Amino acid sequence: MKKIFLTFALALAILASVFVCESVFAQSVYPWDVVLSVEYRGDVFEYKLSDNIGGADTTARGIYLGQSGKQDLYRRLQSLGLPDEAVYNYILPNFDSITAHFAYVRRERADASVQFDKKGFHYQNGQDGVAIDAQKLFEKALTSCGKLLKITLPLNVDRAMTVDELKANTVRRATFGTSFANSGANRSYNIAKAVDALNGTIVEAGEKFSFNQIVGDRTEARGYKTSKVIMDGAYAEGVGGGVCQVSTTLYNALLLSSFLPCAMQHSLVSSYVKAGFDAMVSYGSADLTFVNTTEHPVYISAWVKDKNVYFSVYGEPNPYTVERVSVETRDKFATNYIVDEQKYPDLVYADQTKVVVGGSDGVKTKSFLKYYRDGKLVCTKLIRTNSYKRVDAVIARGPLTREAPETDG
């Protein structure tokens, strides 16, 4: 009886040791395994290393290494400059099956966009870019150590530029206007035509703007009409008269926007702007240009209203408030009267006159820009020194003096 009891006790001890060994084996024999459950918005994908090692050179590839061993191998392979995806799949075969399953998650970044035309700004929302953070997923997977590891799919989000951010770089930098109240129909028409060509212009960052390139040649074939122009130091009839007022108005708007355009002066002072701040243009010989030195596009808006022409310049915020200052000396023009009965037979009396040549003061100018920030003067910059020709007025009149009317008594 005693022998039977001892035998039974020994069997129980052996059986108990087997259970203990199986329990230890279950917990430690697969510490090299990687068991994942990856989830994204209810979509679950499972990966198990031990199910993906068939045919692999498991020893050379370190399949059976533990967490620290795999991490050391990962660092060594990284130091060789190998592609990340190749390293991931070398240590964890078919690791890319996880990223392939969730490929639909990927999305390219699309920044908010702006369209600028003759009607102004139109904004369109963008969307963030999304990509799977494969490195984070892989490094997290190495911590499984044979136990089921539940992971939410890690993502990298590439933030897109928003409409609000875009609007912050499409603010009005400056506006400038001039009057053409005394202009005739042809000159007014030419101004409106040139303005229409310029309205809605976009100058990209680093791009050079050319007035002549955008407006084009001012010819009758292109619809421009004959009006007064300054030619060879005198006023004369020419096609496209009035376009120089458009270029001058834009020039001043650009100056107030903290740009420094390249421009040429007229030979005579202009009536619609301070001396030293005109911008003469002539297709093929004189242009108005500037380079967009900001980091964002510049937008030019132009319009005509109530015999005034206006330009507004938009872009990233203007760092300064700009003031135009002109220092000048004037040589006043004289007026000369002539009598020419053959040329002006309709002028009979001395009080009947006709302007033959309009007078224009001779002017010497120095033009400055004053830059203010937060109401304080930062600097003063000399931008031009100009000299305008003096032209004496010539007025024709009749030869006869009117007799005084007789009166009673």
Condensed to tens digits (0 to 9), the pLDDT of residues 8-19 reads: 333 333 333 333
| Domain-terminating residue out of 110, 129, 164 | 164
In a domain, 403, yes or no: no
In a domain, 288, yes or no: yes
Q: How far is CA 109 from CA 106, 120, 126, 388, in A?
A: 10, 26, 8, 56
Q: How many domains does the chain have?
A: 3
Distance from C-alpha of 162 to C-alpha of 170, rounded to nearest angstrom? 13
Average pLDDT, the chain: 89
First vs last Cα of the chain: how many Å apart? 179
Query: Count of residues for the chain?
Result: 409
CB atoms near residue 265 (< 10 Å): 21
In a domain, 58, yes or no: yes
CA neighbor of 302 nearest in space, from 241, 249, 225, 243: 249
Mean pLDDT of 146-167: 95
Which structure tokens are listed for 157?
């989000």
Q: Which residues span the domain enclosing 251? A: 169-397
pLDDT grade, residue 132 (50/70/90)?
Answer: very high
Same domain (yes/no): 234, 94: no
Residue 130 has pLDDT above 70, yes or no: yes
How do residues 232-254 score in pLDDT, each as one tens digit?
Answer: 656 777 889 999 999 999 999 99
CA neighbor of 242 nearest in space, from 192, 276, 200, 285: 192
pLDDT value at residue 234: 64
In a domain, 64, yes or no: yes
How do residues 74-89 score in pLDDT, each as one tens digit?
Answer: 999 999 999 999 999 9
pLDDT value at residue 246: 98
Distance from C-alpha of 399 to C-alpha of 363, rounded to nearest angstrom? 34
Q: Is 91 helix (H, G, I), strand (E, B) or coil?
A: helix
Distance from C-alpha of 89 to C-alpha of 95, rounded to nearest angstrom? 5
Contact criterion met (CB below 8 Å) for 181 and 325: no
HSE-CB at 131 with a 13 A cutoff on CA atoms is 10
In a domain, 283, yes or no: yes
Kindly state the DSSP code that residue 400 receives in the 8-state scheme.
B
Amino acid at 189: Y
Distance from C-alpha of 70 to C-alpha of 142, rounded to nearest angstrom? 7
Same domain (yes/no): 19, 64: no
Same domain (yes/no): 151, 189: no
Distance from C-alpha of 152 to C-alpha of 49, rounded to nearest angstrom? 18
User: What share of residues in the chain are helix, strand, coil (percent, to 5)?
Assistant: 25, 35, 40
Contact criterion met (CB below 8 Å) for 300 and 203: yes
Same domain (yes/no): 16, 50: no
- The order of strands in the sheet holding 35-40 is 43-48, 35-40, 148-152
Same domain (yes/no): 371, 315: yes
Kindly state the DSSP code that residue 263 receives in the 8-state scheme.
-
- Strand stretches in 219-320, DSSP E: 226-231, 234-239, 289-291, 298-305, 308-315
| Domain-terminating residue out of 129, 164, 199 | 164
In a domain, 211, yes or no: yes
Which structure tokens are listed for 46?
């499972």
In a domain, 408, yes or no: no
How do residues 96-109 score in pLDDT, each as one tens digit?
Answer: 999 999 999 999 99
Same domain (yes/no): 9, 156: no
As beta bridge partners, residue 104 has: none
pLDDT value at residue 354: 92
Distance from C-alpha of 69 to C-alpha of 142, rounded to nearest angstrom? 10
Mean pLDDT of 54-65: 77
Contact criterion met (CB below 8 Å) for 296 and 205: yes
Same domain (yes/no): 259, 293: yes
pLDDT value at residue 263: 96
| Domain-terminating residue out of 164, 194, 217 | 164
- Strand stretches in 250-334, DSSP E: 289-291, 298-305, 308-315, 321-331
Same domain (yes/no): 263, 389: yes
CB atoms near residue 2 (< 10 Å): 6
In a domain, 383, yes or no: yes
Same domain (yes/no): 356, 252: yes
pLDDT value at residue 233: 58
Residue 283 has pLDDT above 80, yes or no: yes
Same domain (yes/no): 2, 93: no
Q: How far is CA 374 from CA 195, 256, 316, 369, in A?
A: 33, 16, 17, 16
Residue 1 has pLDDT above 90, yes or no: no
Same domain (yes/no): 266, 284: yes
Residue 395 has pLDDT above 80, yes or no: yes
What values do phi and psi take at 45, rounded to 5?
-125, 135
Amino acid at 197: A
As beta bridge partners, residue 370 has: 323, 380
pLDDT value at residue 272: 95
Kindly state the DSSP code that residue 160 receives in the 8-state scheme.
P
pLDDT value at residue 391: 93
Q: Which has more pLDDT, 407 or 40?
A: 40
Same domain (yes/no): 213, 92: no
